[in-house]
Amino acid sequence: MNDAAARRYSTGAMIFHWAIAILVIMNWQIAERAHDLEGAERMAVFGYHKAWGMLILALTLGRLAWRWTHPVPPLPSDLAKWEAVLARTVHVIFYVLLIGLPLGGWLANSYGGRPIDFFGLFTIPALPVGENKDLSHTIFEAHETGGSIFIYLIGLHILGALKHTFFDRNGGIFRMLPFGKVPG
């Protein structure tokens, strides 16, 4: 691998990053739409939200497996200490939410006594936890809060990417894209 390639994420990491980013934003929008509906329609749209959420969980596990088996480029050396710490902290919280939101959703759904229909292809069974409507409700409330935190952090993450791309010019968004200039 030449020097320039070592400063970018691997192609696999890029594919996982952008596929998951699109799905997360889409699934947030689906949840917002479902929230405003009622009855059977609400159930149907939340059904899609749950299936996409489980797909995000599977992709995230694949992404982490990829990350552990492929080199990750170091952060640009001109980052201030606080920027490096903030960037890494947000990335770690992202992974926690990418796993915690769908797992929490699955758990809450299971306490509600319901399996998940995966796009009519197969059924993901409820976890063997028994029924507990109160707990189900509490976990879903935490799920909504986690979802809101996710959205704010995505905003911060995008602002950071734009700053490094256009102000610091140290690679920024091109580190996660197969084209563009990533200076050394």
| Chain residues in the site for ligand HEM (CB under 6 A) | 17, 20-21, 24-25, 27-28, 31-32, 35, 46, 49-50, 53-54, 56, 67, 72, 75, 91, 94-95, 98, 101-102, 105-106, 109, 116, 140, 143-144, 147, 150, 154, 157-158, 161, 172-173, 175-176
Nearer to ligand HEM, 111 or 176 (CB): 176
Instruction: Report in angstroms how near the CB of residue 176 gets to ligand HEM at its nearest.
Output: 4
DSSP 72: -
Nearer to ligand HEM, 2 or 18 (CB): 18
Rounded to 10 deg, the angle between the 81-111 and 39-69 helix axes is 130
> 120 CB contacts (<8 Å, ≥6 apart)?
none
Instruction: Report in angstroms how near the CB of residue 126 gets to ligand HEM at its nearest.
Output: 10
Residue 118 CB-half CA count within 13 A = 13
Three-state SS for 117? strand
Residue 43 tokens read as 């159930």
Instruction: Report in angstroms how near the CB of residue 89 gets to ligand HEM at its nearest.
Output: 11
